[in-house]
Amino acid sequence: MSQNSNTNDRRFNTFQKRLVVIENRFSQQSQESQESQGSQTFKLPLKLGVEELLVDFLKGFIEFMPLYTEKVGWDMINGWQCDLNEPDDCTWGAINVLLALALRHRPGGAEGREKLALECIENAQSVSHTFIRNLDFEELRAALGLAILLMNTDEPARASVPVGIAVALCRQMNLHLNYEDNDRFWERKQLFRVTYILDRDLAFRTKQPYLLQDEDIELRIPESHLCDLLGTSDVALPLHIFNLRIQLVEIQGLAYDLISP
């Protein structure tokens, strides 16, 4: 019992230190951003072809990682297309994340697609310090989406900052607590579960401690619901892909616990 307590205390201290590093980085980036605000513009890539990309992405990606719903994705794009003004820095970053994910969802395709995806990722990284400004779901999605993009590179440790942002947002928004009477409960739960997956997966890949501790979480992480029946059209063989993904990272967490000092 004492050993478990010491381990938890050590992880909590590590968590606090990582958040301090992230906050210091935010402060520095925010100051630099304010200094260059007068000359900085938030232009977005051309809108041509976006609809086709989004149709494919939103129908496929959410089956195994429900970061967006189709409505959320289309609301973001339609809001961008209808607004004659430039978006603010946070919204600009969030849209760049969505576009980068859509561009990366289907490799290949039109010439220059990968170049555009990299441009979108760089854009999002340049304003990632804004993703913790308003404590809302748009910012959480942006942080999680950026983490997914960076984890699927040769240097997955680069995702540590956006994962840390996502964990901090979840804790400050109390997404780890059970608020079943909340009208956005399902959305809250799904975004927290995505955060849980990325936190454990990153820890396993980088050999760094995961931040979210099971004893602090009130939600049931892997669970089965009819609306979770994703990944198959065969009713006789339902596959809960998202739940299976969560069960996998739980195993990764146990593996990390066994090999960590």
Strand pairing partners for 240? Answer: 230
- Give a yes or no: residue 95 inside a domain: yes
Does residue 89 register a pLDDT over 80? yes
Contact (CB, 8 A) for 32 and 24: no
Does residue 49 register a pLDDT over 80? no
- Give a yes or no: residue 105 inside a domain: yes
Does residue 32 register a pLDDT over 60? no
Contact (CB, 8 A) for 133 and 139: yes
Q: pTM (2 decimals)?
A: 0.81
Q: Where are the alpha helices (DSSP H) in the chain?
A: 2-35, 50-60, 70-82, 89-105, 113-126, 137-151, 160-172, 185-206, 241-259
Q: Tens digits of per-residue pLDDT, 193-252?
A: 999 999 999 988 888 888 888 888 876 666 555 455 555 555 555 566 777 888 888 888
Cα 78 from Cα 88, distance rounded (Å): 16
Instruction: State the residue range of the domain holding 183.
Output: 2-29+43-220
- Give a yes or no: residue 236 inside a domain: no
Best CA proximity match to 100, nearest among 50, 66, 64, 135: 50
pLDDT of residue 226: 42
Mean pLDDT of the chain: 78
- Give a yes or no: residue 34 inside a domain: no
- Give a yes or no: residue 245 inside a domain: no
- Give a yes or no: residue 232 inside a domain: no
pLDDT of residue 34: 47
In the chain, the number of structural domains is 1
3-state DSSP assignment of residue 242: helix
- Give a yes or no: residue 235 inside a domain: no
Q: Tens digits of per-residue pLDDT, 129-188?
A: 889 888 899 999 999 999 999 998 999 999 999 999 999 999 999 998 877 666 788 888
- Give a yes or no: residue 131 inside a domain: yes
* Mean pLDDT, range 36-49, rounded to an integer: 56
Backbone angles phi, psi at 204, to 5 degrees: -65, -40
Cα 192 from Cα 179, distance rounded (Å): 12
* Mean pLDDT, range 65-84, rounded to an integer: 83
* % of the chain surpassing 90 pLDDT: 25
Cα 174 from Cα 191, distance rounded (Å): 12
Q: Tens digits of per-residue pLDDT, 52-68?
A: 788 888 887 877 788 99
